[in-house]
Structure formats: structure tokens, C-alpha cells
């Protein structure tokens, strides 16, 4: 063998050895970075499993206390056990039982949850479609005479706190139909005369809720009347002698008052696209309100006091508002529109202080509801400004909130004998609302149907790819669905401004795009359209760990 033949032989052998050490192009093997991302996705899946299971148990154990005749749940489990009311049972608890069932039990969702809606509509509608408090024992309304202001307040709460967030996830449904019918009748009975037309109330909370609801439902339906009604309220507060910081003797920056700030900001956003002359008219008054709140309304960490006198600067209610995120929603929305950097900076400061100074914080005398509101606010803003320390805080405080579902943390536990009930009052629904928001973050909006108690589904973004871990204790057949840009597909909004009680969007397939779906366990690659991903990919999976990557295809590839 001459040297040329020897070198050729060595070269061929080397190539063969190298080909044995390296995976072929047909083999699907995660890279080191992808493997690390899958580990995180798997850890997220454990959290999603725990969160949805906690929500499922919450629904199961609350339903055990439902009235056997009507099927409706009571207001609370330790008092007012005889009534279903709009402002509490309907607004705060029931809608998030519905949402939990939508994720975890479709039979329950389409069956008993729907039956409760039908029963509530039939039994509690008192003035047209407006609900009033119903007594199980009396089998009639709790009060013999209808109190219109009370009914309007409960109706407003039911829409804003419950039916509207439910609609932002479900889209058009029997619950959205109930919402629209109540809203129309609220304004049918708007009796407060102003220079700008009749409004529903002089109650700041009701009007703040109406501003939020009308601004969103205008986009959802395209009906001009909703914008017209919202503008009446905007004119009343911004152009008259009811300006929140110029004229109020007290401005609550926590729940039951802070709604007016974010509500006016939501109208300002809507006017910027749908009533441009009004946007120009409102602008100085919106900025005046926000600037004054920044000047007087924050502590040294940049979070809001419970209440202030905006004229004198006095703090009228000490403490830190658990609803800080609700108010920051308004600031951030106006920043998005007007590029006022001070409004974004204020939001970042508040978020940045949470992990250092507000772990295990006593938001509302130890109540899970205070944690739910604080975590929700942080999550919603984190979706826009992903600060690492904020993510750490959300993780740690969610564990604190979840621990409150354990029996050792609950009052009067012996009478419930269950682990699903959190504190036994209508605020338990807010525990589920925020837990579902948290789970959607950890799964990047990916959901599985049917849900099963052993499913652990988590996801992370690695560069521009979505990595999904789905771990099972036994074989499973179903579909995996991807979220949509719901602010467009459901609400028809011009952009996704931060809103109270919305469910933030994480990964959403881009319209008219194709995606490569890589199944590492099955060593299989497929191509799906964005619509197919939203409709759901059918899967038949073996027990154990399943790993997938979703990669957007470049045009022409």
C-alpha cells in the first residue's frame, strides 16, 4: 500500500468513526441549551399540575355546599349561607368555578356550570335582567322590595369582576350573553342626571367599573352606544368638578376606589382610536391625575398607599394597596400611548421593590384574597416588563397563597372537612382566578384537553422557540391547544393594554404562519398552521416524559 492509499484509508476510517459518534440528520436530539430549557419546562409542569389541581378541588368542595334545590352556591360558608348574591357569590366566586371547569372538566363546564347560569338567570333577575339577592330558604328574593342602587351595584360587580374576565378567555358564550343583557339593562335604568347625559351612579367604584367594562365591550361588539355611555362618564369626571385628584377629598388607591383611575385610563385608550377629539380633550386631565398620584400617592418603594387626600397630600388610609397593579395598569397604558417615560419608570420601580421588601407581606390581614390581587397585578405587568426579580417574587408569593388552602390555615375548618375550600368566603374564587393566571404563565398559554390529575404540562421560550414538557403517569389521548391573541380574536382591541382581571397572553402563534412541531420521543416532525395550533393538535402519548419544540417556519421554507 503506497502513502496515497494509506492516507485515503485513514481518512475513510476517520469519517466512519466520526459518523458513529455524531447523530445523523434524521435523529432528533435536543441541544444542551434545549435540554436545560426542557428541565425548566418540566419544573413548570409540576407547578401547573399543582395549581390546576388546587383549583379543581376548590370547585369540587364548594359545590358540596351548593343549595340542593337551585344548585347555586351560598355567599359564604360561615355566614350568609342562605343566599346567593350578585356582588359576591356571582361576581367573585362562581365565574372562576366556571373557568376552572373549562380547563379541568368539560363535562362539569357544559353541565352543572351551565345549569347554575340558567338557574341564576331565571331566579335572580329582578328588574329586567338585573340580578338581586336570592334566599334559598325563602325560595324568593331576600328582600321584599327591590332596591335599585343596590341592584345596580351588584350587577356592575358581577360584570366587571366575573363575567368580563370570563369572556376575555372564553369568547362569545352564554356567559357573555348574560353580561351584555345585564349591561344593557344597567344603562336602561341609569337615572343620575348630569350635563352629559344620564349615568348609572355617583358611586366611584361603580363608575370605575363601568368605564372599564364599556371601553372593552365597545371594541368587542362594535356598538357605538357603549362608547357613548363611557364618554358620558369620562366627561363627568374629567371635564367637570369630579376630577379624581383635583376635586376628590379622598382617593382610594386600593379596591373599591382605585377602579376609577384605571377606568378613566381605559377610556382614554379607547378614545385614542375611536374618538380622537376626545382623546385630545382628555389628555391634560388624565396626565394631571396620574402626575398627582405619583407625587402624593406612593411610599418609598413606589407602591401606592390605601388612600390619600389628593388636595392636601395627607395619607387618609395607611398601608400598602394590594391592588397596586390595578393602578399601574392605567399608568402603563398611558405610557404606551403617550410615551411618558415617568409612567413606565414608576411601574418598574414598584415591580422592582417586590422581591426585596414584600415577601410574606400582610396584604389584607393574612387573607388569600390580598395575595391573589397582588400577584395578579404583578403577573399582568410582568407580561409587559419581564423583570427577573418580579418573577422570583411571583413564584414565592404564589406558594404562600397556595399554603392558605391547607387546612391548618383556615378558620372553622372542622365544619368543611375538605382541602379544596380556601377560606370559606366568596373571595375564594379570586384564589382560583390568580392561580389560573399563574398556570397559564408557566405553560405559556398551552392547555390540554381532557385534563387529568397526573398531567404535568409546562413550557418555556428559548430564543424564538417554544419548548414544551408533558409528563404523564399513564398513557393519554387528547389535544394540546395554543393560546390566541385574544385581545384581537375575542375583544377586537387595537392593542393589548394591561387590564384588571385580564388573562395575560404569553405565546400566541402568529397569524398566517406555519410552525414546525418536533416530537423528540416519537422522533417525528410535522407542520401546522397557526389556526391548527389554536384549534388543537391531536396527540396519543405514552406515559413518562414527552418533549416537544415548536419552531416558526420562515416564509418560503
Give, in degrees to the nearest 5, the angle at Cα 216 between 212 and 218: 120
Residue 472 phi/psi, 5° resolution?
A: -130, 145
Helix 32-63 with 428-442: angle, nearest 10 deg: 160
Is the per-residue pLDDT at 502 higher than 60?
A: yes
Q: List, in sequence order, every beta strand (DSSP E) within 185-295.
A: 251-252
For residue 117, the model assigns a pLDDT of: 98
* CB proximity list for 431: less than 8 A, separation 6 or greater: 58, 368, 369, 372, 401, 404, 405, 422
Q: Is 169 helix (H, G, I), strand (E, B) or coil?
A: helix
Q: Count of CB atoms within 10 A of residue 118's CB?
A: 12
Is the per-residue pLDDT at 500 higher than 60?
A: yes
Using CA atoms in the order 278, 279, 285, 288, what is the torsion angle rounded to 10 degrees?
A: 180
Residue percentage of the chain with pLDDT more than 70: 93
Give domain 62-444's CATH architecture: Alpha/alpha barrel (1.50)
Which pTM does this prediction carry? 0.93
| Chain segment 63-81, per-residue pLDDT in tens | 999 999 999 999 999 999 9
Is the per-residue pLDDT at 180 higher than 80?
A: yes
Any idea what DSSP says for residue 76?
-
Tally the C-alpha atoms within 13 A of residue 114's C-alpha that lie toward its C-beta.
10
Q: Please give the Cα distance from 103 to 379 (Å, whole number).
A: 20
Q: Count of CB atoms within 10 A of residue 197's CB?
A: 15
| Chain segment 528-556, per-residue pLDDT in tens | 999 999 999 999 999 999 999 999 998 76
Count how many residues are written for the chain: 557
Is the per-residue pLDDT at 94 higher than 60?
A: yes
Q: How sure is the predictor about 557, in pLDDT bands with cuts at 50, 70 and 90?
A: low
For residue 10, the model assigns a pLDDT of: 39
Q: Count of CB atoms within 10 A of residue 216's CB?
A: 26
| Chain segment 304-352, per-residue pLDDT in tens | 999 999 999 999 999 999 999 999 999 999 999 999 999 999 999 999 9
* CB proximity list for 420: less than 8 A, separation 6 or greater: 54, 56, 57, 58, 59, 60, 61, 62, 405
Residue 525 phi/psi, 5° resolution?
A: -125, 135
* CB proximity list for 6: less than 8 A, separation 6 or greater: none
For residue 14, the model assigns a pLDDT of: 45
Q: Is 32 helix (H, G, I), strand (E, B) or coil?
A: helix
For residue 407, the model assigns a pLDDT of: 65
* CB proximity list for 552: less than 8 A, separation 6 or greater: 464, 465, 510, 513, 514, 515, 516
Is the per-residue pLDDT at 98 higher than 60?
A: yes
Q: CB–CB of 60/97 below 8 Å?
A: no
Tally the C-alpha atoms within 13 A of residue 423's C-alpha that lie toward its C-beta.
21
Q: CB–CB of 433/400 below 8 Å?
A: no
Mean pLDDT of the chain: 93
Separation in Å, CA 412 to CA 58, 62, 77, 372 = 16, 15, 9, 21
What is the mean predicted confidence (pLDDT) over 152-172?
Answer: 98
Q: Please give the Cα distance from 515 to 446 (Å, whole number).
A: 15
Q: Count of CB atoms within 10 A of residue 102's CB?
A: 21
Superfamily of the domain at 29-61+446-482+509-557: Golgi alpha-mannosidase II (2.60.40.1180)
Residue 149 phi/psi, 5° resolution?
A: -55, -40
Q: How sure is the predictor about 366, in pLDDT bands with cuts at 50, 70 and 90?
A: confident
Is the per-residue pLDDT at 17 higher than 80?
A: no
For residue 554, the model assigns a pLDDT of: 85
| Chain segment 399-451, per-residue pLDDT in tens | 999 999 986 555 554 454 567 999 999 999 999 999 999 999 999 999 999 99
| Chain segment 20-67, per-residue pLDDT in tens | 334 444 467 889 989 999 999 999 999 999 999 999 999 999 999 999
Chain centre to alpha carbon of residue 465: 24
Q: What residue spans define the domains of the chain?
A: 29-61+446-482+509-557, 62-444
Separation in Å, CA 165 to CA 91, 168, 293, 362 = 10, 5, 27, 26
For residue 19, the model assigns a pLDDT of: 41
Amino acid at each position: 500500500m503506497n502513502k496515497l492509499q494509506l492516507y485515503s484509508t485513514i481518512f475513510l476510517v476517520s469519517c466512519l468513526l466520526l459518523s458513529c459518534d455524531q447523530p445523523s440528520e434524521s435523529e432528533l436530539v435536543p441541544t444542551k441549551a434545549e435540554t436545560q430549557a426542557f428541565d425548566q419546562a418540566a419544573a413548570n409542569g409540576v407547578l401547573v399540575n399543582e395549581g390546576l389541581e388546587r383549583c379543581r378541588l376548590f370547585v369540587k368542595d364548594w359545590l358540596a355546599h351548593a343549595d340542593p334545590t337551585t344548585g347555586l352556591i351560598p355567599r359564604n360558608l360561615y355566614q350568609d349561607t342562605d343566599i346567593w348574591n350578585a356582588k359576591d357569590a356571582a361576581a367573585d366566586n362562581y365565574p372562576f368555578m366556571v373557568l376552572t371547569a373549562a380547563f379541568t372538566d368539560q363535562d362539569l363546564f357544559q353541565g352543572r356550570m351551565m345549569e347554575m347560569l340558567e338557574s341564576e338567570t331565571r331566579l335572580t333577575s329582578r328588574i329586567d335582567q338585573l340580578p338581586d339577592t336570592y334566599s334559598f330558604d325563602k325560595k324568593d328574593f331576600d328582600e321584599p322590595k327591590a332596591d335599585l342602587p343596590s341592584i345596580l351595584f351588584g350587577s356592575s360587580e358581577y360584570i366587571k369582576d366575573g363575567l368580563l374576565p370570563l369572556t376575555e378567555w372564553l369568547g362569545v358564550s352564554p356567559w357573555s350573553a348574560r353580561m351584555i343583557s345585564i349591561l344593557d339593562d344597567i344603562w336602561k335604568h341609569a337615572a343620575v342626571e348630569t350635563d352629559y347625559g344620564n349615568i348609572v351612579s355617583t358611586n366611584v367604584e361603580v363608575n370605575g367599573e363601568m368605564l372599564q367594562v364599556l371601553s372593552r365591550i365597545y371594541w368587542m361588539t362594535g356598538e357605538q352606544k357603549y362608547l357613548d355611555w363611557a364618554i358620558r362618564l369620562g366627561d363627568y369626571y374629567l371635564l367637570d368638578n369630579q376630577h379624581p385628584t383635583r376635586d376628590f377629598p379622598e382617593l382610594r388607591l386600593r379596591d373599591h376606589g382605585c377602579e376609577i383611575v384605571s377606568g378613566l385610563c381605559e377610556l382614554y385608550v379607547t378614545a385614542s382610536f375611536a374618538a380622537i377629539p376626545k382623546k385630545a380633550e382628555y389628555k391634560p386631565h388624565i396626565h394631571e391625575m396620574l402626575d398627582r398620584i405619583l407625587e402624593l400617592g406612593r411610599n418609598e418603594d413606589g407602591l401606592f398607599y390605601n388612600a390619600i387626600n389628593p388636595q392636601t397630600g395627607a395619607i387618609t388610609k395607611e398601608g400598602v394597596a394590594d391592588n397596586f397593579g390595578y393602578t399601574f395598569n392605567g399608568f402603563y397604558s398611558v405610557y404606551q400611548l403617550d410615551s411618558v417615560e415617568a409612567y413606565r419608570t414608576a411601574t418598574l420601580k414598584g415591580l422592582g421593590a417586590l422581591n426585596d421588601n414584600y415577601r410574606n407581606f400582610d396584604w389584607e390581614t393574612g387573607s388569600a384574597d390580598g395575595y391573589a390581587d397582588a400577584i395578579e397585578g404583578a403577573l399582568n405587568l410582568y407580561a409587559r416588563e419581564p423583570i427577573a426579580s418580579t418573577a422570583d417574587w411571583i413564584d414565592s408569593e404564589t406558594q404562600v397563597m397556595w399554603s392558605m388552602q391547607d387546612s391548618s390555615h383556615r378558620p372553622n375548618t372542622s365544619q368543611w372537612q375538605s382541602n379544596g375550600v380556601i377560606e370559606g368566603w366568596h373571595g375564594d374564587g379570586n384564589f382560583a382566578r390568580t392561580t389560573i393566571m399563574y398556570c397559564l404563565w408557566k405553560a405559556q398559554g398551552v392547555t390540554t384537553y381532557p385534563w387529568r390529575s397526573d398531567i404535568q404540562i409546562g413550557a418555556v421560550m428559548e430564543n424564538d422557540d417554544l419548548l414544551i414538557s408533558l409528563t404523564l403517569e399513564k398513557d393519554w389521548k387528547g389535544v394540546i391547544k395554543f393560546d390566541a391573541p385574544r385581545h384581537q380574536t375575542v375583544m377586537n382591541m387595537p392593542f393589548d393594554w394591561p387590564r384588571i382581571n385580564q388573562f395575560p397572553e404569553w405565546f400566541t402563534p402568529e397569524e398566517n404562519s406555519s410552525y414546525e412541531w418536533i416530537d423528540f420521543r416519537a422522533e417525528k416532525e410535522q407542520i401546522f398552521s397557526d389556526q391548527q395550533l389554536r384549534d388543537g393538535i391531536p396527540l396519543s402519548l405514552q406515559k413518562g416524559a414527552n418533549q416537544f419544540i415548536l419552531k416558526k417556519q420562515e416564509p418560503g421554507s
